[in-house]
Chains A and B, each alone.
Chain A
């Protein structure tokens, strides 16, 4: 029985199309290897690309096209080749004509079923008339109820490779990182002009980053043969010997942004898949060369139709014969060179059609390979290779990103940049701006490099003069900008875009010239609209091959000139970029307490609060609550913000930012304060202690530490620079430990020998300094967020663990227990203490937070006062209340709404927990004022749809409302 055609074979193929050794080949014949392609084993040499290795073994079909699933082969045999996007192991959309093959590499075709050779999805060609231009906008539009079904079908046809699911994705195998670079000169393009520019710039004293898309420097010289071999070797030798030049090969400049911020993706590194290089170049030299342009005719995408540069790359670099019988359509010297190369390696050039003399190709015969060609004069020629050399496109992307509008030059048959529009920090050289002999290109590159170096030196001096780190010794006088070198000349070239037949224009997106004509007929008559309607230029090649043909065909269809039609807009990125490269390594700052290791060792469940990692609980938050209420507990409160305030004007600052009075805070006293923004909305709260005449320690909420610091600095720097106050953030200078519970005094006393802890000597809301467990310079507060007798100990952070462990050891007979954030939240809720941001929101003014008594509207102006005055006089704002549910077991979810009349929202639950102390739920809520009086009955809409009834309690505290425990 004959096996199906797509069944993998274990037998390796032979390199039937491999040529004998070529003078400029980049393969290492002493390093053979094998890899697999669609399950079959293939031989290759180190230095082969995936495509060249397969082509050497006679493979001609590498992929199926985007829409019609037509077989696709090599077109450019370069980074830009749209015909061989492949899957490599678990990496999709790999450029097979660029990626070097590696031993054991598993390569497969993408989006084909059941195989590349027999792809059922090629049936799309049968319904091609439904997939014409803009079919996205015409089909699958209705009825809308069928969209889920459409979506499933369309998903099956989505082009591209497959990404691994999270379970099978090997994070250890994939690594992406970033790097910043600050070259004086960044040269984009390592051809002869780019290399010459880099050398001249370096010789003039500049540091240079030379970026080349291919695996080696040289540009078109790499396949230029005998005439340029020695020149290339000399340029490479010089660059290798120039320390000031850093060469990045296999790297693509993605974009140029303001002030020459240039992004580069670098591949081929030993330890990372890709590296995003963020370069801040003082000057940018664009030396992107020229891109050979495909010709549009019927069958121009049949495998075996190639550009002349593809043929020369295959022959000269990879020693691969592109075919056996060739027809060449040529319009320039590179076409002549391709003919010579083909003949040199024994390919039978059966016909040469010279477009310079009016010759043309009409159609290629064949479906999965070229079988022949129809010439314009009616002749038919049998062949397996059709080569076109019909023109060039200047890849002006980086220049257009700097604002340059390219101008069509009919004489050269290509758009060219108007370099007079370039900003001073960008220059261009080489093919992208003109033509010339090798000597002329090198000379222009050198002149450009020298100017680039001079201009970068000016920029460097200007930057250093503005930089404090330079020590202020740099002359910053304005210097004139040296003029750019004279432009290169351009060679004449016939205008060749499309034959008299229609063919593929965008090989990535499967857009044909007839699609563009249809788009114009339907009213999308500008290049920009036709692009969006047809998706032409929007594929992986991003317009490098097809833009000029798109413009020419739209111009033809509209009757306008190419210049009148203009190009589409090139924007970053120049080439598609992986999300991995953009994301880079995982870098998200994390903040840890000095006690974090202890928490982890004792089974704490972590809670990520902002950047902080905190212990949520140690297994049983209810037991932790009971330990605090009945005995003594410790909690790590290091994240609370701490600001050291110093200066004679601190009271003025405190009076300005807090709603209450601060003028008479005595040394050794602590006061609670609330800050409001200008709109009266509660910004933060905390306690502030006066440690000495001009020295205060302010605490903030954990999440509000940075905001409050900025808030204070904002007032000091912009409104009251005359005030003598310095603010120093000392949040992490201290490990902060709250010792809470009726036996806390007993415990603290055991480790604090030199501070009198008697209630009369150290009463509630007071502060002392002293030693704790032998550690000097500690600060002790008597405050109580939990509602219990408690001491907040601020210890020099390096000794935090020592003090914590000392407390745990000293309190073992007291049953001391660590408690986490969850227990603390329950404790404070039982006590009715609010949390800013939890029980308040972005609209909660002080009066709505149960803070009416704290706000002193009769004191001098303070932040938020006008709004609070208005609220006091006019508004009847919501209030913060405590609720007692009728069913004590009901704990309404935070955020549940309080409703009347069935669904009219009158408030919301801000905090709720089951109280281990009371054996019932404890709830805080924001409630409309008319419902907020004690005794009011309210209805809570539960998330499960049920309704729960509750009553507003007297005051917020449910435990110890008189504060006896706190003040004990």
Chain B
């Protein structure tokens, strides 16, 4: 069967009009609102597990609780990679739609280089898992983003406690969620990342909680108005 017929679908139903971007059915809606919520699930998501203080950790050089867009060890994997220190000895690498294979392969080579001759007995165990289809990912952007999240999240997400570049795992609307503070051109912006099956629930909960704050759905685009990575390949 011709693979061009396969369109990937996010867990979150696209707000009309629906369109296809990089092989994913996404919302083509454009919002000019000050507070927007965008389903960015098409982005590549690759999880990495390795030792807390091991060679892979040193190579990535992104501590738990922080993020980086400038991980030299991954140069060449993709432009605009975002590496999240999502847990002790745990990272999530986000990239352009379709880049998961490249990212995984680059991480695999990095693991080989970091722990040459890694074996069952002596080497550091590094695990790379493509979670592109296993997680829902959304981006909340706007000056009132923290106010909206405060409706559903008990953690202090204001600048003092959660500055740009922070990453944490907590509950949002009662759901286990990874939060990444990743501002866009000086505007507060948060990536929220949860199990795919509850993506629609979380998306709806945020829209409901932010009604009085004017939250609006914005569609997914590769034109990079917010600095999202561009597609590199069709998955």
Contacts and interface: CB of A to CB of B under 8 A. Distances in A.
Interface in A152-182: 177-182
Give the interface size class of chain B.
35 or more
Nearest to B126: A726
B120 A726 contact: no
Contacts of B63: 468, 471-472
Interface string A642-678: 0010111100000000000000000000000000000
Nearest to B24: A798
B127 interface: yes
Most chain B C-beta atoms within 10 Å of own C-beta, residue among A272, A612, A796: A796
Interface stretch (B69-77, B157-165, B220-228): B157-165
B129 A728 contact: yes
B106 interface: no
Contacts of A589: 173-175, 198, 201-202
Contact of B3 (A460, A591, A774): A774
Contact of B151 (A179, A724, A800, A802): A179
B134 A587 contact: no
Contact of B160 (A464, A638, A733, A802): A464
Interface stretch (A101-109, A293-301, A320-328, A592-600): A592-600
A725 B153 CA distance: 32
Given A590-B198, A802-B6, A733 B151 contact: no
Contacts of B209: 177, 585
Interface string B194-231: 01111011100100110110000000000000000000
Interface string A720-753: 0000111011111110000000000000000101
A639 B11 CA distance: 14
A467 B65 contact: yes
Contact of B127 (A639, A646, A773, A797): A646
B163 A470 contact: yes
A180 B154 contact: yes
B29 interface: no
Contacts of A472: 63
B212 A270 contact: yes
Given A180-B150, A469-B167, A733 B174 contact: no
B120 A801 contact: no
B123 to A, nearest CB: 8
Nearest to A803: B6
Contacts of B65: 467-471
B5 interface: yes
B161 A271 contact: no
A773 B129 contact: no
A588 interface: yes
B65 to A, nearest CB: 3
Given A589-B174, A590-B198, A775 B208 contact: no
Interface string A855-879: 0000000000000000000000000
A278 interface: yes
B185 interface: no
A854 to B, nearest CB: 28
B129 A594 contact: no
B56 to A, nearest CB: 12
A591 B127 contact: no
Interface in A247-275: 269-272
B1 A612 contact: no
B195 A774 contact: no
A463 B161 contact: yes
Interface in A630-647: 638-639, 644, 646-647
A392 to B, nearest CB: 37
B166 interface: yes
B156 A182 contact: yes
A806 interface: yes
A798 B10 contact: yes
Nearest to B154: A180
B233 interface: no
Contacts of B47: 728
B49 A726 contact: yes
Most chain A C-beta atoms within 10 Å of own C-beta, residue among B85, B127, B130, B211: B127
B211 A694 contact: no
B77 to A, nearest CB: 18
Contact of B196 (A179, A467, A733): A733
27 contacts: A178-B151, A207-B158, A270-B212, A469-B66, A469-B167, A469-B168, A470-B65, A470-B163, A471-B163, A471-B165, A587-B152, A589-B174, A591-B195, A591-B198, A594-B11, A638-B197, A646-B129, A728-B47, A728-B49, A730-B131, A731-B195, A731-B197, A775-B6, A798-B133, A801-B9, A802-B5, A802-B7
Interface of A: 177-182, 207, 269-272, 278, 280, 460, 463-464, 467-472, 585, 587-594, 597, 611-612, 638-639, 644, 646-649, 694, 724-726, 728-734, 751, 753, 771, 773-777, 796-802, 806
**5 A-B pairs with the lowest CB-CB distances in the bound complex, closest first:** A468-B65, A733-B134, A648-B120, A798-B8, A774-B3
